[in-house]
Every structure is written in structure tokens, then in C-alpha cells.
Structure 1
């Protein structure tokens, strides 16, 4: 027997090498989305403030509304109600990102799933987050819209917790559900259009030869998602702001607000503030997803793993 035959026989008799199973990747912390959204909303707060005041007041133009805010309250006035923004993001946004990931598991949606599956998961997450985040949403809208009102009609809340406690004390616990219908509806639209479209556009871009899973792909996908989300959510966003800013019995009726708005402004009232909404939501969407992707990279780095 030749030497090569001896080697082959020895290899054949040797036990097979053990197959080392690839460790299952740990899920990311559930609060990453809330932190990313809070960072993004803090940066774009002046634009969000302007959008709410355009929707809830008689202001006509975005630039004029910004000038009015600076003229009456100084540059610091551009950050009026930011504590309400933080409360809203760490309730609503934290919940929606967590619920979206869980909903994708339920419906069996993966990175390359069809758009309708992603939209279904986004809608489920939006319904849950809209209910959970409704009190924070009211607090944010009231704090932002307060200085656009005449002095005698202002709430004059000190901060988000003062607003929450006073609402319960002065208007009852039921006030925390004011505008819940339009808010949940808007949350469903937002998550079905923003979160789902980001995943969809990102997957489609990665199928091409021009994009890889990096910041350029994330930026392009989030830019497209922001435009889709602004257009889809505009009608519900306007109704939500008007109902939550209203006070007095019967003033929070969705149908009453729609009838009054149609009578005085026509059907295009549903897209009032679209430009500032897009101007605010576009950078917010981009910042949210870029920040979220980088936070995921940071988590992977601390775990000693790398993302594919």
C-alpha cells in the first residue's frame, strides 16, 4: 500500500470534525428606538413646534411662524414644550419600535418580506403605541401650542409632569384619552408608512449593485420613508392637533372638528402644514433611522460582534 493510500485510510477512519453551531444573535435592547427618536426629536423640535402651531392656530406660513416665535419668546422659545416631546418619545416611540419588532415575528415578516406584511406589522405596532403614548401626545401638543393662543386661553403648564397632573386634577382621568381615536389612527398610518417603508426601501436598495448596508443606504431609505409618511399621515395629524388643543365640552368631537374645518377652510385643510410637517418629519425620520442604525452598531461593538 502506498503512502498516499495510508493517509487516505487514516483520514477515513478518523471521526468527523464537530460542527460548531453559530451562536444565535442576541436581540437588540427594546429601548433603542425610543432613545434614537428622542435624540432626533430634540434636534428637530423647533420645526415640530412650528408645525403644531400652524395646524392649531391662524398662522399661515412656516417662516413667519418661526419669526413670530423668536420675536415674542426669543430663540429659547423655539424649544418651548421640549419636555413634552421627551415624554412623548419615551412612551410612544419606545413602544412602537418594540411593538414593530414583535409584530414582525407574529406575522412572519423578514428583511425581504413583501410590503403588505411589513405594513401589517407596522399597523399593529401603531395601534398599540398610539394608545400607550396618547397622554404624552396630548402633553406635547398642548405645551407646543400654548404660546400660539391668546393669554387668557393658555394652559400655562410648567413642564410635562405638571401638565399631566393638572389634566387629571382639572379635567379628570378621561382627559388622557382626548383625541385617542385620531391619534391611534395616525399612529397606525405613521408606522405602516414610516417603519414599514423604511424596511421595504432598504431591502430594495440592497438588492441593487449601487448600495450596501451602510449610511448611504440608510439615508436614502429614510428619505423616501419620510416623504411617504408625511403624505399618508397629514389628514390624521391635522385632526389630532386640533382636537387635542381644544377645550370645553363637546369640542373634542372628531366629526364636529371635521365639519367646522370643511365649512371654513374646505377639504384642503387636511394638508394644512404639509410643508412644515415634511420639513420636520424628513430630517426626523432620517435622524431616527441613522441614529438607530448607529446605536445597533454600538451594541454590536460592545458585544464583540459585527453586523452583516
Structure 2
């Protein structure tokens, strides 16, 4: 069928990721709350109850504008690099070797992670704002206001606080999501029992989401703590790592359950949306 042969346009990944974020943002907010706890042991349910009771249901969508800005910068970049490079290097009818998919995904993730760091930092801060004392909140009105205030109050270097951990995490995330999604989908289609439909897209993206969560959780915890830290709170990356290590090895996997509960649906929705965009609005490959 013609729609199965279509390929994605470079910006489809960003649109699909932004659409998925609209549904999964409350789960992302809960993940940030759990990751920034040092001594507390509030469960997911208790966190939800506290947020809703103290701030209202809409507080679960605190920082949504920053989340959308992050997806439109971070995910657009990583998907664009991956799709364009894959289309340039592959031959129609002959899929790329898995190691090349991994290399391309890592490159795309590195670019996306660095470019998306400012929006990601504002996203973390806006999500974490509602759990701290009112007099200590940053109270950003929206993502653009947050970027402007960080630039004005803390300097341009602060916009890229946590860029190193965010970049490494984005590399792992993109490898776990994009290259493994492609590989799992290719394997399923090769069995002859699956077709290029929603069932295959769902199965492939669920497996990719589980792999990506496991690969990225330690870096995600470090990145979140770096971005949420006050100026001077930590002397460097190693200080954050040793501070987190005081909680034991599982400290680096704080928030794993909500991370997977969030990343699973996020990955599934992203790829389902992406495949629908590809099949309905994609372009046919040009013979080389």
C-alpha cells in the first residue's frame, strides 16, 4: 500500500511528541516531584492527593507550556536528525543495520538534548514549584516568562544548567526510543504475523518505552536535581551524584514507576501519532 511506503517529514516527530505531552504531562509532573525528594517517602497516590487538595486539579498541568516548548525544541531536533539521516543513508527496501540506527539516534539525541535544555529546565522548575513554600516559589507565568527571568536574573549560562546530563540522557532516550522502536517494528513485520498498523506500532513503542526508561532513569534523576538546584547548592556534577548516592543505588532510580508510567504512554502516543502523520501526510521516497 502507498501509505506504508511513505516516509515522515522532518518535523512530524516534534508535533507527535507535543501531542503526546498534552496527555502525559501530569505523570511527568509526578515524576519530577518524586525525583526531587531527598528524605520524603510520599507515594504516587499521596503526591496526587496533596497536589489536588492544596492546588486543585489544574495544578497537575503546571508547566504545560514549558513541556510543549521542550517537545517542540528537543523532540523536533532529535527526530529531525534521526529521520533525515536515516533517509539519506538508507536504500529503499533495505533497512539500515541496527548499529547505524543507534549511532544516528545518539547523534540526534545529543543535538536535541542540548537545544532543549533551557525549556527543560523551566519545565522542571514550573512543575516543582507547587510543592515548595509559597514564599520560595519562582512563579513563572509561562515558559517564555521563565526563560526571560532566568536569563535576566541568573544569566545565560544558567539557561544551560544541566546541559551535560540532559544531553547524555537525551542520547540514551533517543537510542532507547527511536532505534529500538525501528528495530522491534522491523523484526515484528519480518515475522509475517504483523502488518504496518496500530497493533504493531503499539507493541513496538511499548517495548521501546520500557527499554528507554531503564536506560535513562539514573541520568534523568541527576538532570532533574541539577536543573532544580538553587545557585551554589551543589559544587558540581560529582557533588550531585554523591548527594544522591546517600540514598543507596535505588536513589538513582527514584521515580522509576511514574517515569515508566509516564514514558510508556508518552512513547506509545508519540509513535502512534507519528505513524498516523506519516501514513496520511508523509511523502513517497525519491529514488536515488
Query: 2:27–2:261: 8 Å Cα contact kept in structure 1?
Result: yes
Is residue 260 of structure 1 aligned with residue 243 of structure 2?
yes
The corresponding residue for 1:30 is: 10
- Structure 1 residues 252 and 84: CA distance shift in structure 2, 3 A: farther
**TM-score under structure 2 normalisation?**
0.91
Structure-1 separation of matches of 2:141 and 2:235: 24
The corresponding residue for 2:254 is: 272
What does residue range 31-50 of structure 1 map to in structure 2 within 5 Å? Answer: 31-50=11-30
Equivalent of residue 156 in structure 1, options 108, 128, 139: 139
Equivalent of residue 197 in structure 2, options 191, 194, 214: 214
Q: State the 1:129 CA deviation.
A: 0.6
- Structure 1 residues 279 and 126: CA distance shift in structure 2, 3 A: same
> What's the secondary structure of 2:71's corresponding residue?
helix
Structure-2 separation of matches of 1:214 and 1:91: 28
- 5+ residue gaps, structure 2: none
The corresponding residue for 1:102 is: 84
> What's the secondary structure of 2:140's corresponding residue?
coil
The corresponding residue for 1:17 is: none
> What's the secondary structure of 1:44's corresponding residue?
helix
What does residue range 171-210 of structure 1 map to in structure 2 within 5 Å? Answer: 171-210=154-193
Q: State the 1:107 CA deviation.
A: 5.7
Of the structure 1 ranges 245-254 and 187-196, higher mean CA displacement relative to structure 2 is found in 245-254
> Which portions of structure 1, spanning 4 or more consecutive aligned residues, are displaced by more than 4 angstroms?
105-111
Q: Deviations over 1:97-117 (max 9, x none)?
A: 101113325665886333222
Q: Deviations over 1:72-114 (max 9, x none)?
A: 1111111111011111011001111101113325665886333
Structure-1 separation of matches of 2:235 and 2:68: 25
- 5+ residue gaps, structure 1: 1-24
Of the structure 1 ranges 245-254 and 154-163, higher mean CA displacement relative to structure 2 is found in 245-254
Structure-1 separation of matches of 2:7 and 2:192: 29
The corresponding residue for 1:8 is: none
Query: 2:209–2:260: 8 Å Cα contact kept in structure 1?
Result: yes
Is residue 243 of structure 1 aligned with residue 243 of structure 2?
no
Q: Deviations over 1:223-270 (max 9, x none)?
A: 10000000000000000000100012252621111111112x112111
CA RMSD of aligned residues (A): 2.0
Of the structure 1 ranges 275-284 and 66-75, higher mean CA displacement relative to structure 2 is found in 66-75
Q: How many residues align?
A: 278
> What's the secondary structure of 2:214's corresponding residue?
helix
Q: Deviations over 1:277-305 (max 9, x none)?
A: 000000010000000111112215xx7x7
Structure whose CA Rg is larger = 1
- Structure 1 residues 233 and 136: CA distance shift in structure 2, 3 A: same
Is residue 227 of structure 1 aligned with residue 210 of structure 2?
yes
Structure-2 separation of matches of 1:188 and 1:109: 25
Structure-2 separation of matches of 1:172 and 1:260: 26
- Structure 1 residues 280 and 26: CA distance shift in structure 2, 3 A: closer
Structure-2 separation of matches of 1:158 and 1:81: 9
More relative contact order in 1 or in 2 (CA 8 Å, sep 6+)?
2
**TM-score under structure 1 normalisation?**
0.85
Equivalent of residue 297 in structure 1, options 279, 284, 288: 279
Is residue 125 of structure 1 aligned with residue 105 of structure 2?
no
> What's the secondary structure of 2:78's corresponding residue?
helix
Structure-2 separation of matches of 1:120 and 1:29: 20
